[in-house]
Structure 1
Amino acid sequence: MTSPTASPLATSTLRTSAMGITASLIGWFIVVEIVSGILQGYYIPLFSDIVLELGIRDADVNWFEAGQLLLSAIVVPILAKLGDMFGHKKILLLAAILTALASWGLVFADSFWSFLLFWSLQGFYVVWLPLEIALIFERGREQNRGVSLTRRAAGLLVVGLEAGAIIGALAAGRVYAATGDLALTLMVPAIAVTLVAVVIWVFVPESTPSGARSIDTLGTVILAWGLLLVTGALAWMRLIGELDLGGGAWWGVAGLLALGVALLAVFVWYELRQQNPIIDIRVLIRPEMWPVQATAFLIGISLLGAQGPLSTYAGTDPALGYGLGLDASERSYVIGLYLVSLIVGAVIFSLTSRRISPRLMLIAAALLVGVGYTLFLPFHLELWQVLLNLSIAGIGCGALVGAMPAAAAAAAPLGHTGEASGMTNTTKTIGGAFSSAVFGVVLAAGVGTVAGHTASSLGGYITVWAICAAGGFLAALLLLVVPKVAFADAPPA
């Protein structure tokens, strides 16, 4: 009797076909991430013009970031879980459509509150990358190469993301200069997101849903309120530090933060008793999972929280004995170099992920972040010193941005890939919110220490750099406890 197994030629043909589909999928996702980067870089050069158009103050721009931060912290874990349940493509398409509608809303917004509403709703794009990672991982899992494929793809997606941010930042000023009309200028990202929604609808295949159809409604409500209170308290903390409000405001922040933490503790207790939780706590406490989530939080400190202090330090008058005295145009070049270093880190991660243990790659990247910010402590007076330090930290951050969602997906059991990769984004966002609030308070505390100046003190900046360095080194230590065989492809059957 002949064996029912497929011939080697047929097996090879199927494998080649599957690899071709996956490569095509990654290519479309790179396009999606370029647009995601455009959204993150396009509006920044236009903020001064948006302030004038809306008739608001420069300080009011902080509310845009706070609103989007609040929404993203809440929706990412929920949408990622829904992707596992109903199919990652469906939720990715839904998030793209909502982002497109919000982007078009910004074009026609004519008041502070309408602009704040649509800006916050535009934050749905933050779930794109976790859902893309889940789709690639599920596609690769069918070939017993999901982990290695996802690692390489994640690096390429981050390259697309950072390239898009650079393209957006460079294009915005030129489009506005050419048109002289803010509404026409804001149509560019809206059109780009609309086209991306069509790309997802037409070219992205669906993943296999987990089969679960019941939604943990009460758990979702508890999680949403807990994250809302925590991130809201952090946003208020930063504003209080910037506006130098009284002691009563600090008591209000402390109360909100305590209530939010208490609700999150209740959420953990409740989820451990549910059959289909919105976030499976048992998955998050696995030995190969919790260090990745903790690393995402710690890297969010330097990746998201330190950019503001970097910009203000670069613009500080060197007559104070520190600072670089760069104007707005020159500061944009510093930020541009940082983005390029993120791309370099993502490319290095993608190219070396097949040859080096992914666990060692994560540890090395975290160490680079720690080393880069440690070098700021003695070397920060010259431009070349700041650029060198920033490049070292940026390479580490770039590698980690690509590595963390892939590592989380690899550590998750079947049916939890979207949830796990999405949580890295949530913890990174909360880490960025926490550090941004703390850094704002630290830097505000040193304002005016030099007579006649409003610059923050050097001690404040050193504190910021020390916290970023400690976060990188602590992340490396946590990753040492991850099993050595974690994040690797399963051996062939």
Structure 2
Amino acid sequence: MNVSAGRTARSGSAQKPKARLGALAGVVAFLAFVEYTSGFLQGYYTPMLTDIARHLRVPDADVNWLEGSQLILSALVVPALAKLGDMVGHRRILLWSTALTGLATLALPFAPNFAVFLVCWTLQGFYVVWLPIEIALLWVRSRDIKLRSAVVAKAAGLLVAALEVGAISGALLGGQLIDSLPLFPVLLIPGVLVSVCFVVIAFGVKESPEPTGGRLDIVGLTLVTFAILGFTGGLSLMRLHGFESPLAWGVTLLGLLLVWPFARWELRHPDPIIDVRMFRSPALAPVFITAALFGISVLGSQAPLSTFMRTDPEVYGYGIGAGGFTTSLAIGCYLIGMITGALLFPQVSRLLTPRITLTCAAVLVGIGYLMFLPMHDTFAQVITNMIITGIGSGALVAALPAAAAAGAHESQTGVATGLTNSSKTMGGAVSSAVFGIALMHGATGAAADATATAGSFSGYVTVWVVCGGAALVAAALLLFIVPKNAFQDRPASPAPAAVGGARP
């Protein structure tokens, strides 16, 4: 980090002081349970996606609708909730979003058909705001701590590690239970955990100091909502009607065009819901772009990886043919890689720089996905690829919100961390639609005589190439565009106000 020399060793060489959590340790412990719950939700259902598809009588390609619907909800609610966190308090937003997540999760087992299940699953996605809101809360509460960026980065690594431990626990438990119990009782368990999470936040987390107050920019929120709905709705129509659909392209283009009046309004508003000047900041714009490219792989590829593992090679000529528990083991290895990456990031950053470390992490993600092209025939090959990808992904998940907090004005911390999640979500929404189209054509060859529920092999190749290529583009962006001293502690100065200006 860019800090003073600190203590001097007996040999006379300068050593960098270590970043310590100190007074933040207590709140980090409670927030770690919140992230454990978030990870549990993300990991628990993955081994049983094929079973859910069979129960609801839909093909594997339609599983991407579940993933895509939560991504759309995330893109819609995170900007508003992130801004509200700055205005009324981050703990309050955590409680609201947890209550909504819990109600939707408890309703999932009772869904009678795919449409109702999709609605409940979508509303469950309010948990996506937890991590950016938590990082914003920690950033605000650490304003008097030395090595602030390093401390928040370390806390973020611990939260992501807790998230991935929860995902491993959820994947292992979900994979084991789905092989031995009916689907209904299996789907009841996550709702109980979210209820406990609500109690933990209510009694264990104190409110962030000095909320900014103000009034919510309703016009800006409406404009950005229609823009996101138009863009993501067009992508959904492409999934239904293919890339040749004029209607799909028209709706997508309309969503993109609505960004212009939204940006114009936000530039004139004294307290915008999203300060679009952030996208011109050399410290923040590359973070948002990197998050969008990263979202392509970390969000868009989850369902395809699971269904590829479950596809029977004796029937379709490709896949691993794994059961639910074996699939959860593979997911567990991937998540262990993410834990390793999240915990190593602050340590490696001290030896190199945050920018170089993030670049290396993106390269690892790209290499891991591109390795699927020659290595996808055995369980060991798939595991190897997923571990490499996981190490890079863990570092990026932990580092991007902290990097945004470090580059944003104090009054815009929640918005900046929320925008990393929104950018990541938009990347995931695009890739989910593209991957769904690529997979929906069904299997060929041997599968022609079977029930055509599996995705096509060419679709899986598309997933691997797009994810790997996007990660390498992100690495190039971090290496050549981002300022060399980005994401590091800087002396106090009025410079951050250039992002959006101090607001009254």
Given the superposition, is the C-alpha separation of residues 215 and 61 from structure 1 closer, same or farther in structure 2, using an over 3 Å criterion? same
Given the superposition, is the C-alpha separation of residues 392 and 177 from structure 1 closer, same or farther in structure 2, using an over 3 Å criterion? closer
Tell me if structure 1 keeps the 8 A contact 2:290–2:477.
yes
> What corresponds to 2:438 in structure 1?
442
Q: Distance in 1 between matches of 2:351 and 2:462?
A: 37
Q: Distance in 2 between matches of 1:177 and 1:365?
A: 35
Does the alignment pair 1:403 with 2:399?
A: yes
Tell me if structure 2 keeps the 8 A contact 1:156–1:350.
no
**Stretch of structure 1 that moved more, 118-127 or 323-332:** 323-332
Structure 1 residue identity aligned to 2:487? F
**Stretch of structure 1 that moved more, 40-49 or 250-259:** 40-49
Q: Secondary structure at the match of 2:411?
A: coil
Residues paired across the two proteins, number: 468
> What corresponds to 1:253 in structure 2?
248
Given the superposition, is the C-alpha separation of residues 197 and 58 from structure 1 closer, same or farther in structure 2, using an over 3 Å criterion? same
Given the alignment, which residue of 42, 45, 54 partners 1:43?
A: 45
> What corresponds to 2:418 in structure 1?
422
Given the alignment, which residue of 168, 173, 176 partners 1:171?
A: 173
| 1:88 Cα deviation from its structure 2 partner | 1.0
Tell me if structure 2 keeps the 8 A contact 1:449–1:457.
no
Cα displacement string for residues 140-185 of structure 1 (whole angstroms, at most 9, x for unaligned residues) = 2221332111111111111111111121222235557787572x54
Given the alignment, which residue of 251, 264, 269 partners 1:269?
A: 264
Cα displacement string for residues 233-287 of structure 1 (whole angstroms, at most 9, x for unaligned residues) = 223323445xxxx95xx22211211111111232122212211110001123200
Q: Superposed, which structure 2 residues align to 1:2-401 within 5 Å? A: 19-47=21-49, 56-58=57-59, 61-110=63-112, 112-172=114-174, 182=184, 184-240=185-241, 250-315=245-310, 323-329=318-324, 330-401=326-397
Given the superposition, is the C-alpha separation of residues 311 and 239 from structure 1 closer, same or farther in structure 2, using an over 3 Å criterion? farther
Given the superposition, is the C-alpha separation of residues 316 and 46 from structure 1 closer, same or farther in structure 2, using an over 3 Å criterion? closer
Q: Distance in 2 between matches of 1:396 and 1:380?
A: 20
Tell me if structure 2 keeps the 8 A contact 1:137–1:149.
no
> What corresponds to 2:486 in structure 1?
486
Cα displacement string for residues 398-428 of structure 1 (whole angstroms, at most 9, x for unaligned residues) = 1101111111111111111111111111111
Q: Distance in 2 between matches of 1:307 and 1:116?
A: 17
Cα displacement string for residues 358-403 of structure 1 (whole angstroms, at most 9, x for unaligned residues) = 1111111111112222333344444433332322222111110111
| 1:444 Cα deviation from its structure 2 partner | 4.4
TM-score, structure 2 as length reference: 0.84
Q: Superposed, which structure 2 residues align to 1:459-474 within 5 Å? A: 459-474=458-473
TM-score, structure 1 as length reference: 0.86
Q: Distance in 1 between matches of 2:44 and 2:379?
A: 26
Q: Distance in 1 between matches of 2:483 and 2:66?
A: 41
Structure 2 residue identity aligned to 1:416? Q
Structure 1 residue identity aligned to 2:228? L
**Stretch of structure 1 that moved more, 385-394 or 407-416:** 385-394
| 1:314 Cα deviation from its structure 2 partner | 4.0
Q: Secondary structure at the match of 2:268?
A: coil
Cα displacement string for residues 92-150 of structure 1 (whole angstroms, at most 9, x for unaligned residues) = 11111221222233354445544333322211111000000011111222213321111
| 1:490 Cα deviation from its structure 2 partner | 2.8
Q: Distance in 2 between matches of 1:366 and 1:490?
A: 25
Structure 2 residue identity aligned to 1:219? G
Q: Secondary structure at the match of 1:376?
A: coil
Tell me if structure 2 keeps the 8 A contact 1:34–1:162.
yes
Q: Secondary structure at the match of 1:488?
A: coil
Given the superposition, is the C-alpha separation of residues 286 and 237 from structure 1 closer, same or farther in structure 2, using an over 3 Å criterion? same
Identical amino acids, percent of aligned pairs? 46
Q: Distance in 1 between matches of 2:443 and 2:183?
A: 37
Query: Where does structure 1 lack aligned partners over 5 or more consecutive residues?
Result: 1-17
Q: Distance in 1 between matches of 2:315 and 2:165?
A: 35
Given the superposition, is the C-alpha separation of residues 332 and 187 from structure 1 closer, same or farther in structure 2, using an over 3 Å criterion? closer
Structure 2 residue identity aligned to 1:280? D
Q: Secondary structure at the match of 1:416?
A: helix
Tell me the C-alpha RMSD between the 2 structures.
2.9
